[in-house]
Amino acid sequence: MSAGDLAAVIVSVVMVGVVAVMAVSVTALLRALRDLRATLDRLTADAVPLMGELRDTVSAAGAEVDRVDGLLESAEAISARVDGASRLGYLAFKAPLIRSMALLRGIGRAWRRLLGRDPAPARARVR
């Protein structure tokens, strides 16, 4: 056997080894791709119904937000009306109430003077 024949045998053995390693690698890669495809199919089967449920939930939440928005607008309108009514009531009853209180205070003072319990207050001069 010559050196060229020996080199050809060694190269052939190495090439068979490389082909065997590549075959094992390709087989493992194909198995991983099949597992990946199966996982993707399961994910798709699970995700599609979930997306439908999510869409329904978002629609329901949007309807609830619209309903709450309407309630807030109603509450703001009621608050504005109550505020206006209380302001109107204050303005309507303020002057007569003050006058009534002053009249009752004056009557009370006069009554105390008549009974002799309250001396006449000293009036300050205005210059």
Q: What is the pTM of this model?
A: 0.43
CB atoms within 10 A of CB 89: 10
Give the count of alpha carbons within 13 A of 62, CB side only. 6
Asked if the model's pLDDT at residue 124 lies above 60, the reply is no
The label of the residue with tokens 């190495």 reads 14
Residue 123 in contact with residue 116, Cβ under 8 Å?
A: no
* pLDDT (0 to 100) of residue 12: 93
pLDDT digit string, tens, across residues 42-97: 999 998 889 989 999 999 999 999 999 999 999 999 998 888 888 887 778 788 87
pLDDT digit string, tens, across residues 5-39: 899 999 999 999 999 999 999 999 999 999 999 99
